[in-house]
Amino acid sequence: MYKTAYYESSLSEYAFLITGGAGFIGSNLVEYLLKHNAGKVRVFDNFSTGCKNNLEEFRTHPAFELLEGDIADADACRLACEGITHISHQAALGSVPRSINDPMRTHQVNVTGFLNMLIAARDAGIRRFVYASSSSVYGDSPALPKAEHQIGWPLSPYAVTKAANEQYARVFGKIYEMETIGLRYFNIFGPRQSPNGPYAAVIPLFMHAIKGNTAPVIHGDGEQTRDFTFVENAVQANVLAMLVKNAMTYNEIFNVAVGERISLNQLWDEICTIGQKKLSPLYLEPRKGDVRDSLADLCKSRKILSYQTEISLKEGLLKTYNWFLNGVE
């Protein structure tokens, strides 16, 4: 993965901070930056959800740094920003069910921690601040596809925290002349995404089920749809956002997706085909806070950010299956 350069100029003069860099998306971004000769790549993570194994292959790289700390600690955030030119803020507590079970902790990490990082970046003079938002911000809006300017009421505490991030980033951009860029992720999946724990995402759970020859659980009737997006596409969006020179991108939000939707039932059938298995899912009650249908409008991302969907859903599923099966893409 990551043979293609998404930015033509050298990265050697830049120092990148990846918060949550031991996580699924963050560690993939670290891999890209190191493969393309970034001057410095510092990971800031408390390993509450991230995994040290995700960073093992990078530890001996001369441009790699690891700072263990918590974004809820303002002093640690200031330390993390020293000598940095660009920030990709991936650190967060994900999962709608987790936020419903523990809204206070989700707020502390996703809102207070986010604000700590914004303040630390401002005080360090770091202008470019790219951050992970979520399609959950679209909430109860029935419109399809989802366009950035048209959102609804949030359906979960998690969605509220991501909406708050977008508001804080916009205000900091306007008041403090920072270049904030938000990326609304639509169900990112791929290598290094863990199937373990009570809040694991659906594709790694499906992959784990295929590998173990066990029936997966689907909440609801399985006809709910999602715009599943391979992680390499999300990495591309982050790289473009961190390095783009177009002022029209500053203090804006961009969808990161494939622009196609598939039901969970269809998704399971695709994964069964890849794994050459035939298993029937176990259907349980729908989960609170989940949206019914999701599909991204990519017009703005393509036109202004120059984002392209490099990897299709089927190609991404095959790469992910190979990784789950063999540990390689």
Q: What is the DSSP letter of 267?
A: H
**Length of the chain in residues, anyone?**
329
Assigned token pair, 147: 């366009």
Active centre residues (catalytic) = 158
Q: How far apart are CA 27 and CA 34, in angstroms?
A: 11
129: helix, strand or coil: strand
Nearest to 87 by CA among 28, 20, 138, 1: 20
C-alpha distance from residue 204 to each of 164, 169, 207, 216, 325 (Å): 28, 31, 5, 11, 12
* Alpha helices (H) along 36-108: 74-80, 96-101, 103-107
Residue tagged 């205000």 (tokens): 171
What 3-state class would DSSP assign to 184? Answer: strand
Q: Do 202 and 267 meet the contact criterion of CB atoms below 8 Å apart?
A: yes
- Residue owning tokens 């200031």: 78
